[in-house]
């Protein structure tokens, strides 16, 4: 049972410019779990970094797989999680994006990013290499080697090998310290109809497993709650709800005008007209029947007086 001190309550804050600025900062913070995942395409016979990164497209099976990872969004007007991609078209025009009410996932697809110049290749490798989870679609006859694209990250590799009858073999490579994740496992055989969904779920869980290794890591809701507590502590109005409600609903105190207030003479109680001092005729409205009747009677008396004189 909750004690009196732990009862449900809300806090009254001091409204100032600093509070409004911190609230705007709170609105700009992420309110959902975010993940960024790299996707590579390896054609048959490609065994070096340059040939893989310069691919601008893939087989039809690969394109269908990428389309199933999420919905294609235009980066120039995308309002969700960007994962480091730019709106100025320097990192591509579109990319797959997936989101729920509590999560956002963006995919850095190598075949969607420009590679016409050395500068664009460097920028592409920077985005792809910084992702901790890599999805590799390999149509090579030999198994994919981790060292083909050297990077400090890429702690988890999910490699897809096409097979016959629209089936696909899954190879998962991870560092020893990475915890177990699923639903796919090393050596799994998956049907093409569920391949994008299963690979996406496995990549998201792999990203979560990697984040769990970060010391003092906080989920987005924990970080947001902590920031809210900090705002309350810095701008708390020292009052109780009862006092606040009393100030809102109680009558405002009467303040007398200062002596030099000027042109508003104070009305003394003795000068205030009472009900016995006020004539009832004066209280009647000018347009009331009582006033009109008295005026007509006065006119009749005047006309009769004139007739008698004549």
Residue 161: closest CA among 180, 135, 197, 131: 135
pTM of the model: 0.70
Average of per-residue pLDDT across 85-92: 89
Count of Cβ atoms closer than 10 Å to residue 93 Cβ: 13
What percentage of the chain reaches a pLDDT higher than 90? 45
Q: What residue segments make up the domains of the chain, in order of their start?
A: 34-211
- Paired strand residues for 158: 135, 172
Tokens standing for residue 143: 């198994």
In this predicted model, which residue has the larger pLDDT, 308 or 84? 84
* Class of domain 34-211 (CATH, top level): alpha beta
Tell me the per-residue pLDDT of 26-79, one tens digit each, with 9 for 90 and over: 877 778 999 999 999 999 999 899 999 999 999 999 999 999 999 999 999 999
Tell me the per-residue pLDDT of 142-185, one tens digit each, with 9 for 90 and over: 999 988 887 878 899 999 999 999 999 999 999 999 999 999 99
């Amino acid at each position: 049972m909750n004690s009196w001190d732990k009862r449900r309550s809300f806090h009254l804050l001091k409204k100032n410019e600093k509070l409004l600025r911190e609230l705007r900062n709170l609105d700009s913070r992420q309110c959902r779990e975010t993940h960024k995942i790299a996707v590579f395409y390896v054609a048959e016979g490609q065994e070096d970094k340059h040939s893989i990164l310069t691919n601008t497209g893939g087989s039809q099976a690969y394109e269908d797989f990428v389309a199933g990872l999420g919905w294609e969004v235009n980066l120039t007007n995308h309002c969700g999680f960007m994962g480091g991609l730019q709106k100025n078209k320097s990192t591509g025009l579109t990319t797959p994006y997936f989101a729920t009410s509590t999560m956002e996932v963006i995919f850095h697809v190598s075949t969607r990013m420009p590679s016409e110049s050395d500068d664009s290749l460097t920028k592409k490798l920077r985005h792809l290499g910084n992702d901790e989870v890599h999805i590799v679609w390999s149509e090579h006859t030999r198994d994919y080697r981790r060292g083909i694209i050297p990077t400090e990250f890429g702690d988890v590799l999910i490699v897809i090998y096409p097979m016959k009858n629209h089936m696909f073999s899954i190879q998962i490579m991870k560092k020893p310290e990475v915890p177990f994740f699923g639903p796919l496992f090393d050596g799994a055989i998956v049907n093409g109809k569920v391949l994008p969904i299963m690979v996406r779920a496995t990549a998201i869980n792999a990203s979560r497993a990697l984040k769990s290794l970060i010391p003092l890591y906080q989920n987005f809701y924990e970080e947001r709650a902590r920031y809210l507590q900090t705002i309350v502590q810095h701008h708390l109005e020292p009052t109780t709800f009862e006092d606040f409600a009393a100030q809102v609903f109680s009558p405002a105190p009467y303040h007398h005008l200062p002596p030099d207030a000027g042109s508003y003479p104070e009305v003394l109680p003795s000068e205030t007209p009472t009900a016995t001092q006020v004539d009832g005729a004066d209280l009647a409205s000018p347009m009331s029947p009582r006033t009109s009747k008295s005026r007509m009677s006065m006119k009749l008396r005047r006309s009769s007086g004139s007739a008698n004189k004549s």
